[in-house]
C-alpha cells in the first residue's frame, strides 16, 4: 500500500481528496494537515513514535501559516524519501518554477480527475515525474526564450530557472537520447549516432516519457530544445569518443565514454 499525506488548507477539499483516494485499493491516507507547519509537526510526531513515513506528500502550494513551497523545502531536507506532488488551483509560471526548484516531482491542478491523480501518486512513488496537461508548456515558458538565431540569452539580471529535477535525474544515456530528440533526430539516427540498436533507443524513449510524465515525443523535443539553451553541464552535448579497434579484430564494438 502506498501511504499518502494530504496537506490542504480547505477542509472540504481535504476531506474530498481523502474520501476519493481511499477508494483506491493500493492507496492509504497516512495523514492530513491544514498547512505546511501542521504537516511538519505531524511528520515529526509520528516518525518519533516509530511510524513509517508517507511515500507521497500531496501539497497545496498556497496555504496560510506555511505554504507548500516552504513545506516542500523542509520535507526534502528532513525526509528525503518522501516524494512531493504539488496540487493547486494556480498554474502561473512563478509557482511552477518554485515547485520545481524545491524538488516537486509532479504538478497537478485541483480540477484533475481522480483517476489521473491516483496515477500520478503511483508514478511519483516509483521515482518518476508527472505533470498535468498544460503544465509542460508552462514549464517551457519559464525557460529562456530562444531567438531565431539561437543565441539570445535571458537578461543577466533575471535568475536562471532550474532544470526540472526529473530531467536532471535521467541516466547519462537517457540524457543523450533526450538531447538527440531535441535536435529532431529519428530513432534510426539516434541509434547510428550513439551506436545503439533501434530497439534500445525505443526503450530509452519510453523510459524518458515515463520518467518525465510526458505524453509524446513532441513534448520531449520541445522541452529538450528549451532546456538545451541553459547550457548546464549535466545536459551538455554528449561527446562520443572515437571508436577503438581491437588489435586482434578490426570489427570490434566501439568504446565510449558513456557506458550506460
Asked if residue 182 has pLDDT above 50, the reply is: yes
Q: Which residues pair with 56 in a beta bridge?
A: 4, 83
Q: Is the dihedral of CA 175, 178, 184, 186 positive or negative?
A: positive
Element (H, E) at 6: strand 2-7
Res 148: pLDDT: 34
Q: Which residue has the higher pLDDT, 142 or 241?
A: 142
pLDDT in tens, 139-153: 665 554 333 334 334
Q: Which residue has the higher pLDDT, 86 or 98?
A: 86
Q: Which residue has the higher pLDDT, 254 or 46?
A: 46
- CA dist list (Å): 88 to 51, 157, 228, 243, 245: 28, 29, 29, 50, 56
Res 216: pLDDT: 80
| Cβ atoms 64, 39 nearer than 8 A | no
Query: Where does the pLDDT of residue 209 fall: very low under 50, low under 70, confident under 90, or very high at 90 and above?
Result: confident
Q: Which residue has the higher pLDDT, 95 or 23?
A: 23
Domain over 2-140 is classified CATH 3.40.50.2300: yes
pLDDT in tens, 3-54: 999 999 999 999 999 999 999 999 999 999 999 999 999 999 998 877 789 9
Q: Mean pLDDT lowest for which of 133-147, 175-189, 203-217, 221-235?
A: 133-147
Unique residue bearing C-alpha cell 531565431? 148
| Cβ atoms 54, 3 nearer than 8 A | yes
What is the rounded distance in angstroms from the CA atom of residue 163 to the CA atom of residue 214?
A: 16
> What is the C-alpha end-to-end distance of the chain, expressed in Å?
32
Measured at the CA of 160, the angle between CA 155 and CA 164, to 5 degrees, comes to 145
**What is the average per-residue pLDDT within 109-128?**
89
Res 139: pLDDT: 63
**What is the average per-residue pLDDT within 221-232?**
63
Any idea where the domains of the chain sit in the sequence?
A: 2-140, 144-235
DSSP conformation letters of 81-119:
TSEEEEEES---HHHHHHHHHTT-SEEEETTS-HHHHHH
Res 107: pLDDT: 87
Res 258: pLDDT: 37
What is the rounded distance in angstroms from the CA atom of residue 154 to the CA atom of residue 143?
A: 9
pTM, two decimal places: 0.58
| Cβ atoms 89, 109 nearer than 8 A | yes
CATH number corresponding to 144-235:
1.10.10.10
Q: What is the chain's mean pLDDT, rounded?
A: 77
Res 58: pLDDT: 96
Q: Which residue has the higher pLDDT, 237 or 121?
A: 121
Res 12: pLDDT: 93
Res 44: pLDDT: 93
Amino acid at each position: 500500500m502506498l501511504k499518502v499525506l494530504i496537506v490542504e488548507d480547505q477542509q472540504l477539499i481535504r476531506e474530498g481528496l481523502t474520501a476519493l483516494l481511499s477508494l483506491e485499493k493500493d492507496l492509504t491516507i497516512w495523514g492530513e494537515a491544514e498547512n505546511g507547519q501542521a504537516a511538519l509537526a505531524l511528520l515529526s510526531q509520528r516518525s518519533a513514535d516509530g511510524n513509517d513515513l508517507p511515500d507521497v506528500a500531496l501539497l497545496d502550494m498556497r496555504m496560510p501559516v506555511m505554504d507548500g513551497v516552504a513545506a516542500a523545502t523542509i520535507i526534502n531536507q528532513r525526509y528525503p524519501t518522501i516524494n512531493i506532488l504539488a496540487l493547486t488551483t494556480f498554474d502561473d509560471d512563478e509557482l511552477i518554477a518554485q515547485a520545481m526548484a524545491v524538488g516537486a516531482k509532479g504538478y497537478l491542478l485541483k480540477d484533475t480527475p481522480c483517476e489521473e491523480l491516483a496515477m500520478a501518486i503511483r508514478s511519483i512513488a516509483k521515482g518518476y515525474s508527472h505533470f498535468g496537461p498544460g503544465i509542460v508548456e508552462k514549464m517551457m515558458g519559464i525557460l529562456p526564450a530562444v531567438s531565431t538565431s539561437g543565441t539570445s540569452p535571458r537578461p543577466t539580471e533575471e535568475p536562471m530557472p532550474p532544470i526540472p529535477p526529473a530531467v536532471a535525474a535521467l541516466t547519462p544515456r537517457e540524457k543523450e537520447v533526450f538531447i538527440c530528440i531535441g535536435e529532431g533526430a529519428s530513432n534510426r539516427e539516434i541509434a547510428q549516432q550513439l551506436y545503439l540498436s533501434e530497439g534500445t533507443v525505443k526503450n530509452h524513449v519510453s523510459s524518458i516519457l515515463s520518467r518525465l510524465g510526458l505524453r509524446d515525443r513532441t513534448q520531449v523535443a520541445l522541452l529538450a530544445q528549451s532546456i538545451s539553451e541553459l547550457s548546464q553541464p549535466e545536459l551538455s552535448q554528449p561527446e562520443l569518443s572515437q571508436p577503438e579497434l581491437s588489435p586482434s579484430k578490426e570489427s570490434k564494438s566501439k568504446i565510449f565514454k558513456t557506458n550506460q
